[in-house]
Amino acid sequence: MLDLLTGFVAELRAAGIPVSLTEHLDAAEAMRHVPLEDREGLKYALGASLVKSSTHWRAYDTTFEIYFSLRGPEYQIAENELEEDGEQTDESDAANLAGHGTGKGRGRGGGGGGQEGMSPEELAELLYKALLGANDSMIAAVARHAVARYAGMEPGRPVGGTYYLYRTLRNLDLDRILDRLLDDARVASTSPTAKDPGAGPEADTGGQVTFTALEERLLRDEFQSRIDQLRHEIENEIRRRLVADRGSEALAKSLRKPLPEDVDVMHATRDEMVLLKKALQPLSRKLAVRLARKRRHGRKGPLDFRSTVRHSLSTGGVPLEPKFRYPRPAKPEIVVIADISGSVASFARFTLHLVHAISSQFSKVRSFVFIDGIDEVSRFFENVDDPADAVHRINTEADVIWVDGHSDYGHALTVFWERWGEEITPRTSVLLLGDARNNYHASQAWVVKELQDRARRVYWLNPEPRAYWNSGDSIVGEYGVHCDSVIECRTLRQLEQFVGELA
Amino acid sequence: MTSPTNVTRENDAITTGFPVAGKPRFESIEAVRQGLASVDYLADEGIAGVVYLADRLAKPVLVEGPAGTGKTELAKSVARLTGSRLIRLQCYEGLDESKALYEWNYKKQLLRIQAGADQAWQELEEDIFSEEFLLARPLLEAIRSPDPVVLLIDEVDRVELETEALLLEILSEYQVSIPELGTVRATQIPLVFLTSNNTRELSEALKRRCLYLHIDYPQLDRERAIIETRVPGISEALADQVARIVRSLRTLELKKLPSVSETLDWARTLVVLGVESIDAERASETLNILLKYQSDINRAAKELAGVELTD
Ligand SMILES: Nc1ncnc2c1ncn2[C@@H]1O[C@H](COP(=O)(O)OP(=O)(O)O)[C@@H](O)[C@H]1O
Ligand SMILES: [Mg+2]
């Protein structure tokens, strides 16, 4: 068992979750107190010892499933399950399904008949009933059947779980099921036995009911949550089969998910983008607090009398060591100039969000966004308590198209220099943001040189991997020679670190 | 008052070692869950599991999560359940040793020094750094208590990073070193809960010493059960509706999502108003109890009324 834990910890570390030796030992101790059969209990016990940040939980959860939840004889897969394209189902599933039939059905599949593969229609019908009745074990059983039938899993095939998930879901057509559930709920609500989650809807003439918008909404939420549950069961089933096929270690590696702060922003999937957005808020808040504290503790201020006297007591009342309060050092001025064209848009948004979230750390922040035209957007951030609102307005309201809406750094920079160049002073730090893919327009790199002459510092943040720089239409090198530094910045972690050092 | 036996003079040999846990407080994870339910705290598998483990491993628990999700209440409920005394250290910016651990009563000491001006310093020193001049603050108090204690270090993310260091000794050794006096060791291992609203990253050193528990907004069933236990006189149907509407609102992109305490406030208001079933209109009228920002309230009202939002 301890070997298993060691492998598990190694995988967590490989996934980027820091686990110290103490924590590893705590986990081993925890295992002594929770019976192995209690999988849920074990998951939380090990999690409490090993994972000290909620954003790491998703990665932990996946790994735990692979290493622990799917072990044991009941998770073994019968030989024929993998080979016969899932037409055959194992006994327990069939029993499960039979045992939980809702009774409302037409009494299908008595005796041995039900075990021979179900038709797609029958499976769809069962799925529908499972969802309608919120029958947990039936939902799980249907999930297993659906994977067996539709995922098309073959032993040894090196494709990831998402591929199978997609294939299964496509065949189940869950959107249609959701609509049907809602439609039928309207009819069902008129019968006295039905339990509906919303307030009692009023029956109208034809045995149909009209839900109010609120009732409809709550009903939809309810069915959606059952569908999410089904989806979760399907993912589990796919993992179970993959583990059986490839073994935990290999699988954990191929399913490894980056932590939100380490996701490559430019190549994030839609799901990852959702997580990134979630992570941004706490990240910027933490950064703000950290910086506020740093500033306060930066230097010594006037004498703190009370503290001095208190500490003097260990020296017999003689104040040998004076204590001080902390003053506030001068704050820098920031100008952000960001490319917000398609490929780098999210990166620009994150940066603007982060910089403005800590704007109290600067004496002034001005923000400019461009594609081929450039616009000042500082006003959007005035008097809003959440930078996300302002960033949202930038997307819809900023005036950044000049000719064709393809990035033109040269034109944007020239316009910036003409209109706002005067306002750059030796107290200003300039932050240029983008991949410097200039669509083969003129670079006008002289503007950056002028900026550098006038400003305190000029930085260039590039969200592209360094290996791609200066290839194709990227001309970051031409601008870079006039910058104090050019920084590869691909993840929230790197971005946060950079912005933190700026303040 | 401290019994002299658990104080070691500094020059005495200080034996350190992992504190020995006392008799287990809980039989099983399930026993924790049921026990907490009996004092009106509805725990899920994760919460119950971590409390159980904290007792078995004699380790503190760091509880993180959004405000109003039952972190503080958990510590209080565990105290009630185990019949322990709850000692609470409320953290705030600027909290220091003298408020958290102990303070020498320096006014009294100065008086004593003046009064004994002709005495030898050595003798005076022995005297003024004795327990008579010591003011115990929550952490020291928890350690010295002869009775079972639940120590709650609330909102630890509010103190400065450097101040966290003050907690480390107590969290790992269950002892407090007082340079002038010696080491005070716990006679019984307290159950320790630290809570954090996650406004900043806590130090690695602190996290390593603790078990970690993240409490999020509860699932539908648990929230409904919380409402039923905590709101007297509410009907099952109304509790269910409240829980469902809150779940729905939490899927929106709001500035501040409704917490459990706000859910409860809302439910209580509805009961007082004699509402039996919530419709969109009723909901909109009372949303200001559930949500804190006007923009969130407007947004939610439109959503619940089924008005299509542009954008
Ligand atoms: N699991 C629960 N069971 C019962 N009541 C709860 C639960 N979680 C939260 N509450 C209620 O919510 C209120 C707020 O909880 P609190 O512990 O103060 O939140 P936090 O410390 O997380 O900000 C409590 O007073 C309690 O009434
Ligand atoms: Mg609290």
Q: What is the pLDDT of residues A175-228, one digit of tens each?
A: 888 888 888 887 766 554 444 444 444 444 455 667 788 888 999 999 999 998
Residue A312 sits in the same domain as residue A343: no
Give the pLDDT confidence score for residue A326 in this predicted structure: 56
B53 and B142 co-located in one domain? yes
Output B266 or B104, whichever has higher pLDDT: B266
Domain CATH number, residue B183: 3.40.50.300
Q: Is the pLDDT of residue B50 over 70?
A: yes
Selected residue of B25, B53, B307 to mutate for chain A interface (largest A Cβ count, 10 A): B53
Q: What is the mean pLDDT of residues A354-380?
A: 86
pLDDT at A249 over 80: no
B18 assigned to some structural domain: no
> What percent of chain A clears pLDDT 70, i.e. is strictly above it?
77
Q: Per-residue pLDDT averaged across B38-48, rounded?
A: 97
Span A299-311, average pLDDT: 65
Q: What is the reported pLDDT for A332?
A: 80
User: Which pLDDT score is estimated for A195?
Assistant: 45
The yes-or-no verdict on residue B190 having pLDDT over 80 is yes
Q: How does DSSP classify residue A261? A: G
Nearest chain A Cα distance for residue B305, angstroms: 6
Provide, as residue numbers in chain A, all residues whose Cβ is less than 8 Å from the Cβ of B245.
Answer: 214, 218
Highest mean pLDDT: which range of A112-116, A383-387, B49-53: B49-53
Q: With beta carbons less than 8 A apart as the criterion, state whether A256 and A14 touch.
A: yes
Query: What per-residue string of b and e applies to B188-209 under the rule 16 or more CB within 10 Å gives b?
Result: ebbbbbbbbbbebbbeeebbbb
**A247-251, B238-242, B303-307 — most confident range:** B238-242
**pLDDT range class, residue A328, cuts 50, 70, 90:** low
**SS3 state at A59:** helix
Cβ–ligand 1 distance for B70 under 6 Å, the answer yes
Helix axes A345-357, A387-397, angle to 10 degrees: 140
CB A236 within 8 A of CB A66: no
B123: nearest CA in chain A? A316
- Chain A neighbors of B109, CB-CB under 8 A: 313, 317
pLDDT for position A104? 35
Query: From the CB of residue A297, how many other CB atoms can be counted at a distance below 10 Å?
Result: 12
**B265 band by pLDDT with thresholds 50, 70 and 90:** very high
Flag whether A429 is in a domain.
Answer: yes
Q: Count CA atoms within 13 Å of residue A277 on its CB side.
A: 13
Residue A261 lies inside a defined structural domain of this protein: no
Q: In angstroms, what separates the C-alpha of A83 from chain B's closest C-alpha?
A: 38
Residue B53: per-residue pLDDT: 97
Q: B77: domain range?
A: 29-101+137-214
Is B293 a member of any domain?
yes
Q: Are residues B238 and B191 in the same domain?
A: no
Do residues B142 and B62 share a domain?
yes
Taking alpha carbons only, the member of B275, B249, B253 closest to residue B262 is B249
pLDDT at residue A108 in the model: 35
Domain membership of residue B14 (yes or no) is: no
pLDDT tens, residue by residue, B65-102: 999 999 999 999 999 999 999 999 999 998 988 888 88
Q: What average pLDDT is seen over chain A? A: 78
Cβ-Cβ contacts under 8 Å for A250 (sequence gap 6 or more): none
Higher pLDDT: A399 or B106? It is B106
Same-domain check for residues A52 and A96: no
Residue A192: its pLDDT value, please? Answer: 47
pLDDT at residue A119, rounded to an integer: 84
Q: Does residue B128 sit in the same domain as residue B177? A: no
- pLDDT-derived band at A91 (thresholds 50, 70, 90) equals very low
What is the distance between the alpha carbons of residues B254 and A98, in angstroms, rounded to a whole number?
Answer: 44
Mean pLDDT of chain B: 88
Co-location of A174 and A320 in the same domain: no
Question: For the ranges A24-33, A251-260, A418-427, B185-194, which has the lowest average pLDDT?
Answer: A251-260
Residue with the bigger pLDDT between B308 and A397: it is: A397
Most confident stretch, A143-157, A264-278, A321-335, A461-475:
A461-475
Q: Which of B106, B128, B310 should one mutate to test binding to chain A, selecting the residue with the greatest count of A CBs within 10 A? A: B106
B7 within domain boundaries: no
Judge whether B243 lies within some domain. Answer: yes
Do A373 and A441 have their domain in common?
Answer: yes
Ligand 1 close to Cβ of residue B291 (< 6 A): no
**Residue whose CA lies nearest to ligand 1 atom number 9:** B70
| pLDDT the model gives residue B4 | 40
Mean pLDDT is lowest, of A158-162, A280-284, A362-366, B300-304, for A158-162
Q: What are phi and psi of A462, to 5 degrees?
A: -115, 120
Interchain pair A289, B200: CB under 8 A: yes
- Closest A-chain CA to B181: A314
Q: Residue range A300-314: average pLDDT?
A: 66
Residue A1: per-residue pLDDT: 67
Question: In this model, does residue B149 exceed pLDDT 80?
Answer: yes
Share above pLDDT 90 across residues of chain B, in percent, rounded to a whole number: 59
Give the pLDDT score at B198: 83
Q: How far is CA B298 from CA B265, B285, B307, in A?
A: 19, 11, 11
Protein residue with its CA nearest to atom 4 in ligand 1? B41
Predicted confidence (pLDDT) at residue A144 exceeds the cutoff of 60 = yes
Residues 97-126 of A with CB under 8 A from B: none
Out of A34, A67, A100, a domain closes at: A67
Instruction: Give the pLDDT score at A97.
Output: 45
Domain membership of residue A219 (yes or no) is yes
Largest CA distance in chain B: 86
Sorted by sequence, the CB contacts under 8 Å of residue B152 that are 6+ apart come out as B72, B75, B76, B79, B86, B87, B88, B89, B192, B193, B195
Minimal CA–CA distance to A169: which of A114, A86, A233? Answer: A233
pTM recorded for the entire structure: 0.75
Q: What is the pLDDT of residue A495?
A: 86
The most confident of the ranges A249-258, A266-275, B22-31 is: B22-31
Q: Does residue B52 belong to the interface with chain A, where contact is any CB pair within 8 Å?
A: yes
Which residues span the domain enclosing A309?
301-326
Residues A174 and A27 occupy one common structural domain: no
C-alpha distances (whole Å) from A86 to each of A150, A345, A472 are 8, 44, 48
Please tell me the distance from the alpha carbon of residue A134 to that of residue A138, in angstroms, as a whole number: 8
d(CA A442, nearest CA chain B) in Å? 37
pLDDT digits (tens, 9 = 90+) for A481-502: 999 999 998 888 888 888 888 7
Look at residue A447 and tell me whether its pLDDT is greater than 50: yes
Contact B144, B2 (CB under 8 A): yes
Q: Angle at CA B208, nearest 5°, toward B206 and B212?
A: 90
A488: left (phi over 0), alpha (psi -120 to 50) or beta: beta
Q: Within this chain, do residues A121 and A20 fall inside the same structural domain, yes or no?
A: no
Q: Quote ipTM for the complex.
A: 0.86
Phi-psi region of A425 (alpha: psi -120 to 50; beta: other; left: phi over 0): beta
Q: Are residues A448 and A317 in the same domain?
A: no
Q: Of A67, A84, A101, at which residue does a domain stop?
A: A67
Q: Cβ neighbours of residue B291 under 8 Å, at least 6 residues apart?
A: B249, B254, B256, B258, B262, B297, B300
Long-range contacts from A172-178, C-beta under 8 angstroms, 24+ separation = A172/A124, A172/A127, A172/A146, A173/A124, A174/A227, A174/A230, A174/A231, A177/A124, A177/A127, A177/A128, A177/A131, A177/A227, A178/A220, A178/A223, A178/A224, A178/A227
Residue A216's φ and ψ, nearest 5 degrees, are -60, -45
Instruction: Select from A43, A44, A222, A318 the residue whose CB has the most chain B CBs within 10 Å, as the one to mutate to test that interface.
Output: A44
What is the distance in A from the centroid of ligand 2 to the CA of B75? 10
Q: What is the DSSP letter of A361?
A: G
Q: In this model, does residue B237 exceed pLDDT 90?
A: yes
Average pLDDT of the segment spanning A272-284: 79
Higher-pLDDT residue of A141, A302: A141
**Is A98 domain-assigned?**
yes
